Each structure stands twice: as C-alpha cells, then as structure tokens.
Amino acid sequence: MSMILFRNGQFVPEQEAGVSPLDRGFLYGDGVFETLRCYEGKFFRLARHVERTRAGLARLSIAPPAWLDDAADILRELVTRNAVAGGVARIVVTRGVGEFGLLGKQATEPLMLVACWNQPPPAAARYERGINCMIAQQRLMATAGIKSLNYLPQVLARREADAAGADDGLMLNSHGHVAEATAANIFLVLRRELVTPSLEGEVLPGITRAAVLELAHAEKVPVVERVVHATELVHAEEIFLTSSVGEITPVTRLSGHWVKVGQPGPITRDLMRAYAALVKRDAK
Ligand SMILES: Cc1ncc(COP(=O)(O)O)c(C=O)c1O
C-alpha cells in the first residue's frame, strides 16, 4: 500500500508527492527538515520540533509556510491514513522552485512535505549492549547547528563508520572539538559529572539533548555544557548519544576500545529510565 504524504496543503499518495527538478531543496539542499519518533500515534515535544523548523527557516530567510501551524493536525491525519502505530515522521520545508542559480530569488513559495510511516524501534541490543563508535575523519560543516538539508558530511561520516565496522561516527567541528554524532548529540560522564558539547560548537540544539539536561538537573546529576576535546573521550566513564528516534543510546566501544567496563553505565541507565517515563507522560 502506498504511503500518504502531506504536500503543500493536500494529502496525496507518495507517487503524486513528486518534487520538481527545479526545487531548491533537491538542487542545493536549500531547506530544513525534522525527524520525530511516533509513539502509538503520539509525538514527544512536537512544538519544539516546529520551533526548531521555524528557527532554521529564519536562518535561511525562507518564509515559514502557513501549514507549519497545523503540524499537529497534519501528523494526526497521517497517523490515521497510514495506520501508524509506532514509527517515524519527517517534516521537510524547502525554499521551493526557482531557476537554476544559487541566489534563488524567484523561489517564493516554499514546499512543505510531511510523511509518517511505521518503523520498528531501534534493536534492543543497542540499548542493552551499547553501540560502537569511532571518530570520523569527516568534519562537520559550520552550518551544523541548523537542521538543514545539507547532510553530506553526516552521510559521509556514517558511511565511513559503517565501512570501518562501527555503528556511528563522532564528528569534530571546525575547531577539532567533539560536537555530536552523525544524527545525535553526545554526552560523556567524566568524574561523575555529565558533560556535553555546548551549542556554540556547531552542535544541533537537540530536543532529546534538552530533555536529558532537564532530567539530569531533576535527578541532581551535575551537568556542564562546554568544549569537549577528543582526548577526553578515552577517559569517559560513560558515553551516550541522544536523538528523537534513538532516544538515549549507550556507547560502550570507541574505536575498538571498551568505554570503561564496556557496558551501559549507571548514569546512562538512570537517564534512559527517566527519559522513557517522560516520553510516556508527555507524548501527545
Ligand atoms: C546532527 C544531529 N544532531 C543531533 C540530533 C538529535 O536531535 P533531536 O534530539 O532533536 O532528535 C540530530 C537528529 O536527527 C541530528 O541530525
């Protein structure tokens, strides 16, 4: 059965949701996107995802499409039409159709696509045993703080990690500091303090990251947002990644070495439990 998508005001089968070859999202990655996890037809902090979409569009000087206000209704409709129980949703907004050329002044009508499909959650082993990461050679772009359609560095870093037999690549920013993973934020536990790269360092302001910071404060875990040097990774007592789809994923191996004892640590496990409870309570 073909998936139903929302495309600029209409619900259409995927075959009819085609994008113009002159769409600037297709030509230049001139747009933004959001990925959300769908929990039994509900979403966690959808308003924050919409806020981040607006912030990204503002950075790109793209006028936000009016339909963004209706994101909750659109997603609810897609959940029903596609019979989504658990899965993933994607919101994409591009500058729309313009002529060839970088400036894109003719593109005045943004394109908004929304999709929502059934997808099983990440494998349980990722949470029980943790995943294996490496530092990617591929650096982030300076626009990494915007969830733009320019994900080539992340794509290359994920492929680099896969080719090396790792689950994910940790990415350094233009200063050579640890910024995030290919599609997730990173946290370290160092001397029982939770450390995460600060948002100034070309880091996406993750919605899961923000939730984890709230939970850590509530649980009286000391937290610091600061520059993280790659050399600190080997001293970490615990490492985990955060993202809407992957939630809190322990990292237990780094470039072939165990992180501490090679098992998800106690602070990670506590936060995983607290996050699951928060999602259960707040998903709407
Ligand atoms: C580069 C990058 N960093 C971090 C994240 C985590 O963001 P969030 O927790 O809002 O899903 C993502 C999400 O896909 C991402 O693409």
Query: Could you tell me the residue ranges of all domains in the chain?
Result: 4-118, 128-282
Name 131's bridge partners.
251
Q: State the average pLDDT over residues 30-40.
A: 98
Q: State the average pLDDT over residues 253-277.
A: 96
Q: Is the pLDDT of residue 1 over 80?
A: no
Distances (CA, A) of 51 to 69, 205, 267, 278: 10, 11, 29, 20
Whether 185 is in the pocket of ligand 1, judged by its Cβ within 6 Å, is yes
Distance 183 CA to ligand 1 centre (A): 5
State the pLDDT at residue 99: 83
**236 close to 189: Cβ distance less than 8 angstroms:** yes
State the pLDDT at residue 72: 98
Distance 166 CA to ligand 1 centre (A): 19
**Whole-model pTM?**
0.96
**175 close to 158: Cβ distance less than 8 angstroms:** no
What would the CATH number be for the domain defined by 128-282? 3.20.10.10
What does pLDDT average to over the chain?
97
Judging by beta carbons within 10 Å of its beta carbon (0-12, 13-18, 19+), is residue 35 exposed, middle or buried? Answer: middle
Which pLDDT band, with edges at 50, 70 and 90, does 100 fall under?
confident
Cα–Cα distance measured from residue 73 to residue 263, given in angstroms and rounded to the nearest whole number: 41
Amino acid at 27: L
Cα–Cα distance measured from residue 258 to residue 159, given in angstroms and rounded to the nearest whole number: 22
Q: Is the pLDDT of residue 125 over 80?
A: yes
What would the CATH number be for the domain defined by 4-118? 3.30.470.10
Pocket mutation for ligand 1, best pick of 148, 155, 243 (most atoms within 8 Å of C-beta)? 243
Q: State the average pLDDT over residues 128-152.
A: 96
Q: State the average pLDDT over residues 239-258.
A: 97
Whether 216 is in the pocket of ligand 1, judged by its Cβ within 6 Å, is no
State the pLDDT at residue 105: 87
